[in-house]
Amino acid sequence: MEKEKLFEKLKEKHPQTILGSADRFGALEIQVDRNAIADVVRTLRDDAELAFNVLVDLVSIDYSAYPGWTGERFGLAYLFKSLTLGHRAQLKVAVPEGEPVVPTLSGLYANSDWLEREAYDQMGIRFTRHPNLKRILNHHEFVGHPLRKDYPITKRQWLSANESLMDEMEVRLKEKGYE
Amino acid sequence: MNTIDPKTLLPTTSAESSASGLDAAKHKDKKDLVFVNLGPSHPATHGCLRALCALDGETIVAAVTEMGYLHRGFEKDTEVHSFQQVIPYTDRLNYVSAIMNNVGYCKAVEKMLGIPIPDRAMVLRVITCELNRIIDHLVCAGANLVDIGALTNFWYAFNAREKVYDILEKLCGARLTSSYTRIGGLSRDTYPAFADEVKAVLKDIRKSVAEINKLVSKNRIFVDRTQGVCVISKERAISYGWTGPTLRACGVEYDLRKAEPYYHYEDFKFEVPVGTKGDTYDRIFVRLYEIEESAGIIEQALRKLPKGPVMTDDKRVALPPKQETYGNIEGLMNHFKIIMHGICPEPGEVYDSTEAANGELGFYIVADGSKNPYRVKCRPPCFMNFAAFHEMIEGGMIADAIANLGSINIIAGELDR
């Protein structure tokens, strides 16, 4: 589908929550209200004319050091691809510093679990109703979120104990019917 | 009536087990399980990966995974380096096929700058990328076969790989961490015997692949160990965001070189091998067949390799020739600008992706007008593969898990960044 048509269609379905769009080197970025992201993504995935069945990536950005930036501190870019129709889409949500909370995409895409954990770990954005919002790349004793612009690149931390993983295992065993 | 209880291998009477309520199929008690850590540091984890498995007898009934042991802050590092200085860091993402990462990153920056690269650089990028795809697949298949006990194949695969590395070493001076590309082209042109040596190495590669094929494709042990093992459905693989050979092994014909062609891939004749079952066997063989397709692409590319420069003459990114730098003021200033002030794309955000050996390798780059990237997010294809690992190995044995880990080709450098 043409990117302009895609925008029109989403705007028609979600008139309140589609906020605008921007050109990203040929790709169209569609800006979405953060509280409605799960609804919009559901439309993207389930509408037969859109059929975005792959969540390609989730990118978190801290704009606090961006020259001349006036918007909210954080941004999240969601990248989608449709394997059946071949087109791509790009959504962006603005996330305020005081309340860096966004609804999860868990249940829509299987890989959103780890992608959202990465955004939480690296940037400190929390995802409501995420089943297992733990650190993923950094050690579990790590303090702070390293990709925030106010985290000094030379800072070192002492990390000692390894993780037992039994908290995740207990959940998994319960799903498998073990008591 | 006496039956053998598979859990204990002791004869029991069916009346006994149902009377005491200890029917193994129904009763699930956590106390019966043994917890085993697979990794993090073990030769079979190829890097540093960890899976905690709950075993009932020899069967994995539940598994959880942990990653990050090789996390070194690639994305944070990019923010304090200039656009050119990031290139060597990309070598260390998927260090088995470093040039493909160089190309993926440079292509994204070139898209931002709007700089077309010369035809010769484009074709050479295709050739070196396909050579890298071949060695990546050889390493993956070779190491995977070692993990399931077929050692000989490893030597067949690695002998051919070594010869490719000889070529890459002559091309850019390094074996693994090549840093071959530059923003706007390549670091250097080929050497005179390049085409002949590549043709000779393709012959060796085809011979090795044929030998591996002969050894394993009808080998009963190999077939039993891999067919129908650690199957993932097409739907699940798509939901996990799989791309590349692992997705194609599930029967999805998706290859960025066909779906969104770049560098004139649409002009090359090649097939996209796909599997049917999505098991370990399909994942290994999709790679082995892809080696042949890549070899074909290289031969076509060598035939049409045009003459000309390998670096753009765009003054924003290309260093002037040395006689210009030393000979006139414009050349000197140009040199100074690029070294001291760097390459400065206009503010903006871009996502660009290439078909790397493991799947879609994407870079999301935010520029703020300065010489350093404001933010770089790498999309490593095996991140998505490893996210599905725990649910693939459940129901199988530890040995199946090891065979599967090799077949989804987790490269820790790329996974953990």
> What CATH number has the domain bearing residue B384?
1.10.645.10
Write the CA distances from A164 to A130, B72, B186, B198, integer angstroms.
Answer: 21, 22, 47, 49
Measured between alpha carbons, how far is B355 from B27 in angstroms, rounded to an integer?
A: 47
Which residue ranges form the domains of chain A, and what is each CATH number? Answer: 3-153 (3.30.460.80)
- Rounded to a whole number of angstroms, the distance from the CA of B236 to the nearest CA of chain A is 8
- Rounded to a whole number of angstroms, the distance from the CA of A36 to the nearest CA of chain B is 21
Cβ density class B106-127: b for 16+ within 10 Å, e for less = bbbbbbbbebebbbbbbbbbbb
Measured between alpha carbons, how far is A115 from A60 in angstroms, rounded to an integer?
A: 10
Q: How confident is the model at residue B164 (pLDDT cuts 50, 70, 90)?
A: very high
CB nearest B252 (choices: A65, A67, A83): A83
In a domain, B66, yes or no: no
Q: How confident is the model at residue B14 (pLDDT cuts 50, 70, 90)?
A: very low
Comparing B27-31, B138-142, B181-185, B271-275, the range with the smallest average pLDDT is B27-31
Put simply, the answer to whether A53 touches B68 (Cβ < 8 Å) is no
Q: Is B106 helix (H, G, I), strand (E, B) or coil?
A: helix
Taking a C-beta distance cutoff of 8 angstroms, is the pair A55, A82 a contact? no
Write the CA distances from B8 to A124, B5, B58, B62, integer angstroms.
Answer: 48, 6, 11, 20
**What are the E-state strand segments in B19-71?**
34-38, 50-56, 59-66
Measured between alpha carbons, how far is A62 from A109 in angstroms, rounded to an integer?
A: 24
Q: What local confidence, expressed as pLDDT, does residue B11 receive?
A: 43
- When the pLDDT of each residue in chain B is averaged and rounded to a whole number, the result is 87
Q: Which residue of A has its CA nearest to B109?
A: A25
Cα separation of the two ends of chain B: 58
In a domain, B6, yes or no: no
Partners of residue B350 on adjacent β-strands: B365
Nearest-CA neighbor of A43 among A52, A32, A34? A52
In a domain, B397, yes or no: yes
Q: Which residue of A has its CA nearest to B252?
A: A83
In a domain, B93, yes or no: yes
Amino acid letter at B56? Answer: D
Whether residue B343 is predicted with pLDDT greater than 70 in this model: the reply is yes
Taking a C-beta distance cutoff of 8 angstroms, is the pair B89, B76 a contact? no
Helix runs in B265-321, H state only: 280-303
Measured between alpha carbons, how far is B332 from B343 in angstroms, rounded to an integer?
A: 16
Put simply, the answer to whether B112 touches A25 (Cβ < 8 Å) is yes
Nearest-CA neighbor of A95 among A62, A66, A122? A62
Q: Which residue of A has its CA nearest to B108?
A: A25
Taking a C-beta distance cutoff of 8 angstroms, is the pair B33, A178 a contact? yes
Residue of higher predicted confidence among B25 and A114:
A114
From chain A, pick out residues whose CB is under 8 angstroms from the CB of B111: 25
CA B276 from chain centre, in angstroms, equals 21
In a domain, B272, yes or no: yes
Strands B59-66 and B50-56, sheet pairing: antiparallel
Taking a C-beta distance cutoff of 8 angstroms, is the pair B298, B123 a contact? no
Rg for chain B, CA atoms, rounded: 25
Residue labelled with tokens 């898209």? B111
Interface membership of B344 toward A (CB under 8 Å): no
Taking a C-beta distance cutoff of 8 angstroms, is the pair B212, B141 a contact? yes
Token reading at B287: 């790679």
CB nearest B240 (choices: A79, A86, A111): A111
Residue of higher predicted confidence among A28 and B12:
A28
Amino acid letter at B165? Answer: Y
Put simply, the answer to whether A110 touches B52 (Cβ < 8 Å) is no
Whether residue B7 is predicted with pLDDT greater than 90 in this model: the reply is no
Q: What local confidence, expressed as pLDDT, does residue B25 receive?
A: 56
Q: How confident is the model at residue B21 (pLDDT cuts 50, 70, 90)?
A: very low
Q: How confident is the model at residue B354 (pLDDT cuts 50, 70, 90)?
A: very high
Q: Which residue of B has its CA nearest to A81?
A: B241
Domain extent at residue B186: 74-416
- Rounded to a whole number of angstroms, the distance from the CA of A96 to the nearest CA of chain B is 18
Residue labelled with tokens 């961490």? B177
From chain B, pick out residues whose CB is under 8 angstroms from the CB of A136: 67-68
In a domain, B132, yes or no: yes
Q: Which residue of A has its CA nearest to B369?
A: A67
CA A76 from chain centre, in angstroms, equals 6
Number of domains in chain B: 1
Whether residue B26 is predicted with pLDDT greater than 70 in this model: the reply is no
Q: What is the 3-state secondary structure (H, E, C) of B224-258?
A: HHHCCCCCCCHHHHHHCCCCHHHHHCCCCCCCHHH
Q: What local confidence, expressed as pLDDT, does residue B237 receive?
A: 92
Amino acid letter at B231? Answer: V
Q: What local confidence, expressed as pLDDT, does residue A26 receive?
A: 83
In a domain, B343, yes or no: yes
In a domain, B48, yes or no: no
Taking a C-beta distance cutoff of 8 angstroms, is the pair B371, B86 a contact? no
Neighbouring CB atoms inside 10 A of A77's CB total 20
Interface membership of B355 toward A (CB under 8 Å): no
Whether residue B315 is predicted with pLDDT greater than 90 in this model: the reply is no
Q: What local confidence, expressed as pLDDT, does residue B24 receive?
A: 52
Measured between alpha carbons, how far is A18 from A8 in angstroms, rounded to an integer?
A: 10
pLDDT digits (tens, 9 = 90+) for B191-237: 889 999 999 999 999 999 999 998 888 888 889 888 888 899 999 99
Tens-level pLDDT at each residue, chain A (179 residues): 677 888 888 888 888 888 888 888 888 889 999 998 998 999 888 888 888 999 999 999 999 999 988 889 999 999 999 998 888 889 999 999 998 999 999 889 999 999 999 999 999 999 998 989 999 999 999 999 999 999 999 999 998 888 888 888 988 888 888 87
Partners of residue B63 on adjacent β-strands: B53
Nearest-CA neighbor of B201 among B143, B155, B153, B162? B162
Taking a C-beta distance cutoff of 8 angstroms, is the pair B288, B294 a contact? no
Within 8 A by CB and 6+ apart from A116, the residues are A58, A104, A105, A106, A127, A130, A133
Put simply, the answer to whether B62 touches A173 (Cβ < 8 Å) is yes
Token reading at B40: 């993090």
Number of A/B CB contacts below 8 angstroms equals 135
Q: What percent of chain B has pLDDT over 70?
A: 94
Whether residue B10 is predicted with pLDDT greater than 80 in this model: the reply is no
Taking a C-beta distance cutoff of 8 angstroms, is the pair A153, A160 a contact? no
